[in-house]
Structure 1
Amino acid sequence: MAARIAPLGWHVVVYFEAADLPDLEDFFATLPVPLVIDHMGRPDVTRDPDGPEFARFLRFADRNRCWVKVSCPERLTVTGPRALDGERHAYTDVVSFARTVVEEFGDRVLWGTDWPHPNLTDHMPDDGLLVDHVAHVAGSADLRRRLLVDNPMALYWPEECA
């Protein structure tokens, strides 16, 4: 299928659990289309963001010039949204992973949500907190513009950016 869509300039969105990347990365590397990785490759946010598992993901994404979606902290979090310094803060256990992706792949990172949040059975996320999460992971106006405007334009409407 990827070979059939390659001439159209399309991309493939891949979803996988972080633990499955070692078994999938060789296959993904053979695909003749740009890859967009959903949910930052679903890192285990109880692990160290500087640890070997996430480092492997970052190397894979860099080596294969992947686009990475900084999306769905509500699906990755263990702690959930919580109060921090007297105000609600969005998904603090996911922030360091997402911030790393935004900084490492500034020209190939995308933001998104999973609205209307299908298949969630234990909670319904606050969409306002999901939007607030952006400021915690993209710390400058330039990074936010790239994440929310420039990069989606480059991926989905490249002729407009030329």
Structure 2
Amino acid sequence: MTTETVRPDGPPPNPNPRKPRIALPPGACDAHCHIFGPFDRFPLPPDRSFTPNEAPETALRRLHDHLGIDRAVIVQSQGQGLDTRPFLEALARGAGRYRGVALLKPAAREEDIAALDAAGVCGVRFNFLSHLGGAPDPEALRTVVAKVRPFGWHVAIHVAGEDIVTYESLIRSIDAPVVIDHMARPRIAAGVDGPALKTLRALIDSGRVWTKLSGGDRLSAEGAPFRDVVPIADSLFRHAPERMLWGTDWPHVNLHAPMPDDGDLVDLLADIVPDAEDRKRVLVDNPTTFFKFAS
């Protein structure tokens, strides 16, 4: 597939995000972002679940340099199918700046997982959303988890709304550190005591589950600057600040409303976590521990 034949499913990311009003601490980590392409070298495969805009590592690096972000966790996306080439090239280009989260099938071989581990991959992701293929078979999930456990990887879970209630037992059964993406994407209207957040807090209390204070632009009912998300995220941070992470979710795939300004998303974190030392915990200390970055 060439760049001329790609028809993205949504708009590209904001090309000119503003500078955040806050300065991020040295070593700040974007714990959730994606890359796609460049398509002239890495054509989109037919097994992808959606068609993204081109968003290569070079564009991600420019964004991070503009925002003041020094480290990142690149999450392999189903928009690139199971083609690991762009993902692995990005990790190599980062030379320690990046860690990775992979998509794996139960048939994955130990030697392939070892190669991913050596490249900087530290986790595996499972999507439970219908537009990304729906919930994985529990036995398939357990097979993959058993294969990555010897490497000390974590498991990233992408659920939305009350699905976290449905899959609570399955998540509890995972014998590895777990991170729930985007605060489990709860319904804003359900409030801080809705079933999704109650379940998420109970999972966090297990001591093995973390979450990312990300995806505010996806959750907001009001739109930019997404302040209606602050009570939700604040309730999670105050519940367990030692297990909170943060990410941009760039390049914001599968959105069809106005694309968020990543400067707004950085400043939204300042609204959620006003204290600079607390933000350092979320942006530097916690991700260094969870993703095994060099200190």
Report the TM-score, using the length of structure 2 for normalisation: 0.49
Would you say 1:69 and 2:212 are equivalent positions? yes
Query: Which runs of no fewer than 5 residues in structure 2 stay unpaired?
Result: 1-143
Deviations 1:77-119 (A, max 9, x none): 01111xxxxxxxx311100111111121211110001111111
Kindly report which structure 2 residues correspond to 1:28-47, keeping only aligned pairs within 5 A, or say none.
Answer: 28-47=171-190
1:72 Cα deviation from its structure 2 partner:
1.0
Would you say 1:135 and 2:270 are equivalent positions? yes
- Correspondent of 1:109 among 244, 250, 253: 244
- Correspondent of 1:150 among 285, 291, 294: 285
Q: Which moved more, 1:21-30 or 1:43-52?
A: 43-52
Deviations 1:120-148 (A, max 9, x none): 11211011100100111112122101110
Residues 102, 147 of structure 1: 8 Å contact kept: no
User: Higher RCO, 1 or 2 (CA under 8 Å, sep at least 6)?
Assistant: 2
Rounded to whole Å, the distance in 2 between the matches of 1:151 and 1:26 is 26
Return closer, same or farther for 1:41/1:139 CA change in 2, 3 Å cut-off: same
1:52 Cα deviation from its structure 2 partner:
4.4
Would you say 1:25 and 2:168 are equivalent positions? yes
Would you say 1:16 and 2:159 are equivalent positions? yes
2:286 aligned counterpart, secondary structure? helix
Query: Which runs of no fewer than 5 residues in structure 1 stay unpaired?
Result: 82-89
Q: Which moved more, 1:53-62 or 1:32-41?
A: 53-62
1:18 aligned counterpart, secondary structure? coil
**Letter of the 1:135 counterpart:** A
Residues 38, 68 of structure 1: 8 Å contact kept: yes
Rounded to whole Å, the distance in 2 between the matches of 1:145 and 1:101 is 16
Equivalent residue number for residue 255 of structure 2: 120
**Letter of the 1:94 counterpart:** V
2:149 aligned counterpart, secondary structure? helix
**Letter of the 1:19 counterpart:** E
2:167 aligned counterpart, secondary structure? helix
Off by >6 Å, runs of 4+ in structure 1: none
RMSD (Å), alpha carbons: 1.5
**Letter of the 2:247 counterpart:** G
Residues 113, 130 of structure 1: 8 Å contact kept: yes
1:57 Cα deviation from its structure 2 partner:
2.1
2:189 aligned counterpart, secondary structure? coil
Rounded to whole Å, the distance in 2 between the matches of 1:61 and 1:118 is 27
Equivalent residue number for residue 84 of structure 1: none
Rounded to whole Å, the distance in 2 between the matches of 1:56 and 1:30 is 15
Return closer, same or farther for 1:65/1:115 CA change in 2, 3 Å cut-off: same
**Letter of the 1:42 counterpart:** R
Would you say 1:7 and 2:150 are equivalent positions? yes
Report the TM-score, using the length of structure 1 for normalisation: 0.87
1:53 Cα deviation from its structure 2 partner:
4.0
